[in-house]
Structure formats: C-alpha cells, structure tokens
C-alpha cells in the first residue's frame, strides 16, 4: 500500500521516515519529494508497505504524530491511474 506523508519538517530525512514506519511493519521503500532547485525536501513524501494490514496500522498510529516539531499527516495515497484514463 502506498502512503502519503505530509507536513514533514524540511530537515526530516528518508531514513527517519522509514524508521517511523518500520515500527509497524515492513517498508518496501520511502521517497521524499525534493525541490529540484535547492535539493531540499518539499515537506512531503511517500512510503510503500507491502502488507495492507501493517500499512493501515501505521497510518492510524502515525497520523498527527509530532516529528521534528511538525504534526505530520499520513493517509493512503490516491491512485492516479484512474484520473489519467479519463
């Protein structure tokens, strides 16, 4: 299950986000979205967890958690394939 993580501090790293989610299960990958001009985080990213049960528990427990001084927002990522075919 692909998970969207928003409102991350610009200083939060992919390693930190991965560690957060690994508390709840296996993380396949984690990717923060970076600003091409500055090379710094844009404050959001995605996490892929292969087991839906673990992913749902992670979303429930990590949404609104304070990380590096920011209250992060965590939810299932929308599937863009439906929108592209319209």
Query: Which residues, at least 6 apart from 77, have a Cβ–Cβ distance to it below 8 Å?
Result: 2, 3, 4, 46
* pLDDT value of position 58: 98
Q: What is the pLDDT of residues 4-18, one digit of tens each?
A: 999 999 999 999 999
Domains and CATH numbers, the chain: 2-76 (3.30.70.330)
The model's pLDDT over 17-73, given as tens digits with 9 standing for 90+, comes to 999 999 999 999 999 999 999 999 999 999 999 999 999 999 999 999 999 999 999
pLDDT confidence band for 82 (50 / 70 / 90): low
Report d(CA 70, CA 43) in Å as an integer. 10
């Amino acid at each position: 299950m692909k998970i969207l993580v928003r409102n991350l501090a610009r200083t939060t790293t992919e390693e930190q986000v991965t560690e957060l989610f690994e508390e709840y299960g296996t993380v396949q990958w984690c990717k923060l979205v970076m600003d091409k001009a500055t090379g710094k985080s844009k404050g959001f990213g995605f996490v892929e967890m292969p087991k839906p049960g673990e992913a749902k528990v992670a979303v429930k427990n990590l949404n609104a958690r304070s990380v590096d001084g920011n209250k992060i927002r965590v939810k299932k990522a929308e599937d863009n394939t439906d929108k592209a075919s319209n």
